[in-house]
Amino acid sequence: MPQVRDAFAVLQATYNDSCGTPGNCQYFLNRLLTNLDDLGNSMKVSPKGTAHFRQPLAWIEQMQNALGGDFTFDNLHKHQKLLVTTRDKINTWMQSYPNDYR
């Protein structure tokens, strides 16, 4: 299990990727989902405890609930805005806690 800072660094790398590149959308959305799930799992086992990461974990849970266990490309594409928004909200939150990613 990667530490929060490592999982967050991997998630930040998705900023260089998008559905705007032809043929890349499925890869991007699957990568984004995996990276968000990995970050959430890292936060759950962090020594700081889940209370510290309450807000980002809630955003990830909301995203997972919206996906409803359907990880097909069609469903991920339907929820593309939610995936990207979840990533962006977590990025903004993490910027307020630099000790979590440095």
pTM higher than 0.85, yes or no? yes
> With 80 as the cut, is the pLDDT of residue 8 above it?
yes
DSSP state of 79: T
Return d(Cα 98, Cα 87) in angstroms, integer: 16
Coil vs helix vs strand at 97: coil
pLDDT at 99 exceeding the cut of 80 = no
Of 66, 101, 72, 98, which Cα lies nearest the Cα of 85? 66
Looking at the predicted structure, is the pLDDT value of residue 22 above 90? no
Contact 46, 52 (CB under 8 A): yes
- Is the pLDDT at 102 greater than 70? The verdict is no
In the chain, alpha helices (H): 4-12, 25-45, 54-67, 73-78, 80-95
Q: Which of 65, 60, 49, 46 is closest to 91 using CA atoms?
A: 60
